Structure 1
């Protein structure tokens, strides 16, 4: 039997290794140090390299071999303990990130990293320095940051905590979703219009409005912002359909007399 497993401790916790070295047999004797190598018991042999997996077991009649944590292991004090991250959408354009720490030792600060579901990797969007002037504190600190984000899909966030000496660790990953276009409204008035009509937009900062005549021909297009309604003039009498470029399902019918 061969069983792989990965160890993912919660943010701000420490995983302890009970014996010397990074691997041991079930009898408790030291096996291999954190440089990797081969572990042998009876007729069973297990080979590994540092960072390959976290924990494996190999079992055969008359023998059981258990490999311990396969990461470089040193007894050091964690620079930040109790780190936890929360993310929530404030509105269609902003996401609020909050996090707190229980203790900070030689902490330089936190890189805020973001990845949209259409991206392949995380990117740094901000850096928040530690609130402790000496970089070391034994009391709790709380942090808040607002990220400009109008993405309508899922967005992932994480913190990269960095020490003064350059070492770093990551927080848990949180995600938020964007607001849908159901809150977007395109309005035109008066109806019917005599020689002109007004157009306004709500639920989105700006978009391009297209004006189609009764035969489906595009006769006008213009940029419209939520802050500035616009007046449309010089259209021949007839029936017109206004549509948003970002979502053709959002439209408004206008009659010009």
Structure 2
């Protein structure tokens, strides 16, 4: 099998993403397995190892499988601040299609060195990111996050994340899946998908999981047998769980054989999405809809951090009276992920 090791040096976080604590990232990795033809390492951000860049790379062509097997983060700790957990996030989507939410892969701690550096790793996730996809070119987008004793840190390419493409040469399901998306609307999750063609397709089951491992069926829709005409499907999860909900399609043939689509995720937050009041901001910026202990960071478009604070409750107010007029980027990070919005200050 081909192990594609995507190496991303997180020294770039100094230049691209504010580092808020003394614990931080040294390097990050993503581990994939593509059909079978040798190893490749790719880096993002600062690149002290001289590896080819991940950003904008062509990862290659797969006949049947590209496994995202997990990843690794190497961290350091200092001055009383330690990394408490590590995660890698990914999403994949066809070209010219609006991407959905990120899917989280937890990376457990596997070793700690005498100098305080730590290695967080998982390489057995076995996520086939070609499964269920029709022929075409797709984007794999990733970023990494560590949770510290005090604050969060990211390797996210300055909020733009790391993107590479890969090509699928043939469908791995008896249906050619054009798209599959899920979206949270108020307290429900709406799933939509479509096929370009179907062969002996008996049905679809929409399945849900809270850990991306154990799934339950929440909706069943009949397939269209054999057809070369585009078909569309939709289903609603009326009672998703709080937090991250993972979804996949289980497609069953008329002879009982089945296969799974790629995963999708939707987040149901206690307080909903963040809402900004008082824009353009003149004296006070009000941020509503925060989860408890969210990390709130505001920076200039050049990456200079002007505000960092952990929230205490669902709302916080930021005094912007001394800030120069202009455009700023608000990043809110919690255990469910990251939300980014633009903020305009005008005096």
Q: TM-score range by the shorter chain?
A: 0.3 to 0.5
Q: Which protein is richer in strand relative to its size? A: 2
Larger Cα Rg: Structure 1 or Structure 2?
Answer: 1
